[in-house]
A = this chain, B = another copy of it.
């Protein structure tokens, strides 16, 4: 499947050469066996001037499907190049959820005009969907589903399914509603085809329905479908009336989008509306990164301040400076690890079974344990390279304090943010890294200062320790 983009490239090249010599029958034959998403990619790769030409050669039903897969930018440019009759037909026939996603990208003026020209039924549906907040079930759902009544027989129901199969998003999940459109049960097409034709749906359907509300966050919708292995989940309003369904294919895109968002947050990159980083221009890229960088730089000013205020101890033992990056870095890395596992645990809800307090205590203990393990590596090196036991001891003591603190902060801040109803991913890895720097540096220099004041003899034994470690390593 790695070959999919390559396939699209080959199709694009063939398409372009056929279009330029006017071989339209060739184009039709070329595209007939290709999957709509691949056709969309090939058309998207064509020069703008040829896109509308290629698009017009598609069969009408195929054209709508291909259009739904096109990039928003290509969708817009096609709208401008097609005749208004063609545009209207296209927009009228799109799935309501895809139409709403298109309208989200278009200028308000164009949306108003298109809305006015839609048929009353489609206009009503579209306006309704546009009324829900972005990233909710209401925005994600389609209103094209099959609803049945509990007094229908299985045979009647199958006839209805057959009749409506072409205009609905899925026929595999079927919904039973009462006279006031309240959702009373669901059944799968599997249940229906295996039922006795005489059975009433009321006796076959499942009455315990898992559903989501129109204002349910899209991430929770995705979790529901994932947890229960559903192909679709019904969306109900406050009165439990069925208003739409969200299908598994849309949910996969949500899961991917949320994963990208978590990952970008971990890397201190602001996520855009779409995963379009490599499509956007350099200034957009810089804008999405400079805000976080500036926050982090200003946070670093505090570390500079800590070092500047303690310059006296550095003047006396310059080699102490050599281990500031090591300590800050290790604290940052331990903190990054803790925040990574906690943020991911919150996303996948795997942290719920443990509890917040226990999770933080656990991370703190892990931090202490990791600090102890790394002392074995770091203390001898610092003793030898710092040319005195004072440096070795300062590095060792502060290492332990820093890893414990970093793990606690790395676990605690995201949990605190989540508790406060904020996005835990805002407590990104670089943010925790930078905070740990300040505290870590302070602990380190203060420890050294204290040792220098109380045990100055630790500075003396330079020659011995260097010899000792050189002997041990050789």
The distance from the CB of A229 to the nearest CB of chain B, in whole angstroms, is: 4
Asked whether A223 is an interface residue with its Cβ less than 8 Å from the other chain, the reply is yes
Asked whether A260 is an interface residue with its Cβ less than 8 Å from the other chain, the reply is yes
Q: How many monomers of this protein are in the complex?
A: 2
* B1:A212 contact, CB within 8 angstroms: yes
* A314:B318 contact, CB within 8 angstroms: yes
Q: How far is the CA of A325 from the CA of B297 in the complex (A)?
A: 10
The distance from the CB of A428 to the nearest CB of chain B, in whole angstroms, is: 9
- Which residues of the other chain, B, contact A226 by a CB distance below 8 angstroms? 249, 252-253, 256
Asked whether A448 is an interface residue with its Cβ less than 8 Å from the other chain, the reply is no
Given the known interface contacts A303-B325, A326-B303, the answer about A352 and B318 at a Cβ–Cβ threshold of 8 Å is no
Q: How far is the CA of A264 from the CA of B338 in the complex (A)?
A: 10
Asked whether A402 is an interface residue with its Cβ less than 8 Å from the other chain, the reply is no
Q: How far is the CA of A340 from the CA of B282 in the complex (A)?
A: 16
Given the known interface contacts A5-B353, A189-B189, A252-B226, the answer about A362 and B194 at a Cβ–Cβ threshold of 8 Å is no
Q: Which of B224, B282, B352 contacts A369 (CB 8 A)?
A: B282
* A264:B340 contact, CB within 8 angstroms: yes
Which A residues, 333 to 375, have Cβ-Cβ distances below 8 Å to chain B? Answer: 333-334, 336-337, 339-341, 343-345, 348-354, 359, 362, 365-366, 369-370, 373-374
Q: How far is the CA of A312 from the CA of B397 in the complex (A)?
A: 27
The distance from the CB of A348 to the nearest CB of chain B, in whole angstroms, is: 6
Asked whether A464 is an interface residue with its Cβ less than 8 Å from the other chain, the reply is no
* A193:B344 contact, CB within 8 angstroms: no
* A340:B220 contact, CB within 8 angstroms: no
Q: How would you classify the secondary structure of chain A's contact residues: helix, strand, loop or mixed?
A: helix
Asked whether A290 is an interface residue with its Cβ less than 8 Å from the other chain, the reply is yes
Q: Which of B259, B296, B369 contacts A263 (CB 8 A)?
A: B259
* B223:A1 contact, CB within 8 angstroms: yes
* A430:B333 contact, CB within 8 angstroms: yes
Q: How far is the CA of A227 from the CA of B130 in the complex (A)?
A: 26
Asked whether A214 is an interface residue with its Cβ less than 8 Å from the other chain, the reply is no
Q: How far is the CA of A314 from the CA of B322 in the complex (A)?
A: 10
Asked whether A166 is an interface residue with its Cβ less than 8 Å from the other chain, the reply is yes
Given the known interface contacts A300-B330, A365-B282, the answer about A220 and B2 at a Cβ–Cβ threshold of 8 Å is yes
A162-B194, A282-B366, A293-B330 given. 15 additional CB < 8 A pairs?
A: A37-B227, A37-B228, A45-B353, A226-B249, A260-B344, A263-B344, A268-B336, A292-B333, A297-B378, A303-B325, A304-B325, A304-B385, A311-B318, A333-B433, A336-B430
9 A–B contact pairs at CB < 8 A?
A1-B221, A172-B231, A226-B256, A268-B337, A275-B350, A297-B326, A301-B326, A311-B321, A336-B429
